[in-house]
Structure 1
């Protein structure tokens, strides 16, 4: 079984997260920039690669700064599912990708997760992950 978490892509994830925390209550649990996670040394090194927060009790939301595509406020929400095993993650990825478009094939990433991203045939963006320690 997987755990579903909304993933919001933002022009300024730090600012947007602070707004949600001030208006809904909660806290930022972690924040990682492109420089911190992958050693990036370009103009986007300070952009948020991944931000994890809780709001209104224990509701998790992930966020990131837009990085490589045109952006329209409010249209960049992705659904992120974390699976227990690599085989579960791969199976879900393949099924969701049918008739859709793969942005990043599911594979081990430099930031330490087995990760893939796609847009399904209905236009919904999905990020599928699993922790390396959970792999079969």
Structure 2
């Protein structure tokens, strides 16, 4: 196993959320709608513009998402996305971008373990942790 990637589920606003994440994080965004998929003819309950699968890639970052969970979606705090940064400038800018319209839980603070660390919940209800290890080479 080389890595675990987060897969986010939305209820109709996947395109909006993933576009926002691309604006905040950069990278290449790919979106596949139900209507442009091989299963378009079989899917009767989902609108054709719903996102079947989305992926945002930037270097080693891979964030995936979908609208296909439907009405069974329950937002909660069981998943937190953690981003480790390579510069103080990058962590501050990305934190500010993702905090836009969301709620800062812990502002970026110098921690005892030598890192700049903070947490927030974005405007889509997703929890994020930010970490920049100032001692990294």
Q: TM-score, normalised by structure 1?
A: 0.45
With a CA cutoff of 8 Å and minimum separation of 6, indicate the structure with the bigger relative contact order.
1
Q: Which has the higher strand share?
A: 1
Q: TM-score, normalised by structure 2?
A: 0.44
